[in-house]
Amino acid sequence: MPLLGRVFELTLATYLVGAFASIAVWRRPALARRVCCSAGLTGAILGGFSAILAILRDKPVVWWVPSGIPLFTYSFSYDALAGFFNLALAVLAAAVSIYSFGYLKEFEGKRNIALFGFLFQLLLLSLTVIFTAANAFLFLISWEVGALASYGLVTFYHEDQETRKAGLLYIIMAHIDAGCLLLGFALLINASGSAEFSSFHAIAAHLSTRQQTAAFVLFFLGFGIKAGIIPFHIWLPAAHPVAPSNISALLSGIVIKTGIYGMVRIFVDSLGGVPSWAGLLVLVVGVISAVLGVLYALMEHDLKRLLAYHSIENIGIILMGLGAALIFRVAGHPQLAAVSLIAALFHTLNHAIFKSLLFLGAGSVQHSTGTRNMERLGGLIRPMPITALCFLIGAVAISGLPPLNGFVSEWLTYQSLLAGYGATGGLTRILFPLAGSMLALTGALAAACFVKAFGITFLALPRGAESQHAHEAPRTMLIGMSCLTLACAGLGLGATWFLPAFNTITEQLLGQRVGSSLISAGGVVLSAGTPRSGTVSTAIIAIGLLVVMVPAALLVTMGTKRFGRSRGPVWDCGLPELSAENEYTATAFSKALRMIFSVLYKPRREIQAVFDVSPYYPKEIRFESEIEPTFEKRLYAPLQEFIFRISARMKTIQAGSIHAYLAYIFVVLLLLLLFGVHK
């Protein structure tokens, strides 16, 4: 067995030992916290090492251990794709574990750290197995373990009504998606007679059109719900914000990416491609999720809910790249498909990094002020300078601005969408540049949203008492965030050095090595794979910016030295003593967009003013504003009502009499036997 195998087994063992060790020391919270975080960190380092080995290898490493149960085997296949997702997992797990040393401290004596540690290790373990499993049942079992572990972590503050409701919604949606996957796998197993992923690959070409359609729909639903695509997203902005922030970072960073992993694994690898309408559907769902995700994010002033909606947006951007890759593959452009797949996967990694960075930043803010409501925050850049800097870098990266990593993957997505115009025929080709323009809208709205998120939270004066006594986060939390901040900068500036890592992935999945054709001019310039398509260099842009800014700084310094620089009060229109109440709020900042997109939001507001003489001098104002939760109201509420109505009907056969139940069982048994004989 090669080194990779040993390291992988050690990774799984570390998480498993960590899980039970946390439980074992439950009487000593401080020790449990250290065990939990150090096991997470050790596992992450080992997992990251195994991931790098897998990415560098040309051939996957395969394990196969029979279990004695039919169809179920402990079979793993650690290929480059698995390595890539495990690398993302390892980076996040390491940063989150370091962060948690400080973050979990306030749990000591108040909450069950041992249970937290157990669920945390279990989640990391199940994710590692999901990315490497090569047997459908092993995959589904770890999928379920991951869902249950994250349910436990989401409802960690279970005394809160909102948290319990969010947890319930999460577990229901998680089971709908698991159900879809089970049916999808059942279909494939029925066709191939085996539950090994490798057997699916062999029969994929022999599936009938109807089977193909059914398999695509089931897997797209199952993985899509997990990834949070619109309209199945409603659980995501409910569940992610209520979890402890280190867990939110993992949930938005990597847990929803299991959906993306599943789509790549099944659609690109196992099924070896899907019909072109299916690729188109993925692209369109991506566009809708991206635009609506960011539009809903803009209306949030709960910092963590805002970030959760941005996860939906970024899943949309990833699906744009993936959809393009699926379309190009059936259209006979494997090289373009490889470039689009790289765009999607690179954005997956980038989003994992900057979104967990932002969630950790939001966690520091909540840790320090006790609130996530942006209308109560403000001015945190002074008491929390390092958190602010990390959050700012994350905000620039997620807005897709150069020279950071978000820009690189969005740039690649643009290039693959533009290439789609030439590579497809008919009316489909118009769709690609239109999708590109929607990506531009998404990017610009995301920038607006993060101006709001950073500007209202960290700049100007504190708006509430909570943020007046804010303090900087403990050192370990800052180190955790700094690691991810450096990764954002590194993957942005050094993109051309990182991209050849995709060579083995695209080679194993599509038989194409395009990594090196993406790089030109001595390794600093990124190009879109085809000649003359477009080039960019984030490293040169960064250097250029610095070079241009130096003389500007000299000019300003010379001026201020001679003519002075002083601090003065802000212009207050002659009314003295401006206070935080005069500041712009998050609601006010998004007002213009709320008016422009009122068709979507259907905003409602209510103002009640109490005044003595003139309405212009109110003594008291009550203001209420809300937008209509369209999907919840129009789609899910009728659905829920329908289910309740059906359930009420079903009550008539649920008489509570044991005889009736025995009769039901007998009838069902009889029917099954008849069915079996008939077959």
Residue 133, φ and ψ in degrees, nearest 5: -65, 140
Residue 529 in the binding site for other proteins (CB under 8 A): no
Near other proteins by CB under 8 A: residue from 110, 206, 210, 565: 565
Residues 424-453 that bind other proteins (CB under 8 A): 429-430, 433-434, 436-441, 443-445, 447-448, 450-452
- CA 514 to CA 325: how far, in whole Å? 13
- CA 182 to CA 646: how far, in whole Å? 24
Residues 375-434 that bind other proteins (CB under 8 A): 379, 381-382, 392, 396, 399-402, 407, 411, 414-415, 418, 421-422, 429-430, 433-434
Residue 584 in the binding site for other proteins (CB under 8 A): yes
**What is the smallest separation between the CB atom of 601 and other proteins, expressed in angstroms?**
14
Contact predicate 139/219, CB 8 Å? no
Contacts with other proteins by CB under 8 A: the residue count is: 84
Nearest CB to other proteins, comparing residues 562 and 659: 562
Residue 678 in the binding site for other proteins (CB under 8 A): no
Peptide bond into 474 cis (omega under 30): no
Where does this chain touch other proteins (CB under 8 A) — which range of 27-35, 83-91, 474-482, 591-599?
A: 591-599
Burial (CB count within 10 angstroms: exposed 0-12, middle 13-18, buried 19+), residue 483: buried
**What is the smallest separation between the CB atom of 314 and other proteins, expressed in angstroms?**
16
**What is the smallest separation between the CB atom of 565 and other proteins, expressed in angstroms?**
5
Q: Is the dihedral of CA 163, 168, 172, 175 positive or negative?
A: positive
Q: Which residues contact residue 319 at a Cβ distance below 8 angstroms, ignoring those fewer than 6 apart?
A: 227, 229, 260, 282, 283, 285, 286, 289, 344
CA distances from 337 to 175, 272, 319, 413, 548 (A): 32, 12, 13, 11, 38
CA distances from 48 to 40, 65, 535 (A): 12, 24, 31
Residue 331 in the binding site for other proteins (CB under 8 A): no
Residue identified by tokens 């009504």 is 161
Near other proteins by CB under 8 A: residue from 578, 603, 629, 636: 578
Residues 535-564 that bind other proteins (CB under 8 A): 535-537, 540-541, 544-545, 548-549, 552-553, 555-556, 559-560, 562-564
Nearest CB to other proteins, comparing residues 571 and 617: 571
Could you report how far apart the first and last alpha carbons of the chain are, in Å? 45
Residue 587 in the binding site for other proteins (CB under 8 A): no
- H/E stretch holding 611 reads strand 604-611
Where does this chain touch other proteins (CB under 8 A) — which range of 8-16, 355-363, 459-467, 621-629?
A: 459-467
Residue 591 in the binding site for other proteins (CB under 8 A): yes
Near other proteins by CB under 8 A: residue from 13, 202, 465, 521: 521
Residue 570 in the binding site for other proteins (CB under 8 A): yes
Where does this chain touch other proteins (CB under 8 A) — which range of 238-246, 454-462, 494-502, 637-645?
A: 454-462
- H/E stretch holding 56 reads helix 29-56
**What is the smallest separation between the CB atom of 119 and other proteins, expressed in angstroms?**
38
Residue 568 in the binding site for other proteins (CB under 8 A): yes
CA distances from 217 to 68, 141, 163, 196, 274 (A): 32, 21, 31, 21, 11
- CA 457 to CA 340: how far, in whole Å? 36
Tokens of 37: 């975080």
Nearest CB to other proteins, comparing residues 47 and 492: 492
Contact predicate 360/94, CB 8 Å? no
Near other proteins by CB under 8 A: residue from 357, 590, 601, 627: 590
Nearest CB to other proteins, comparing residues 17 and 593: 593
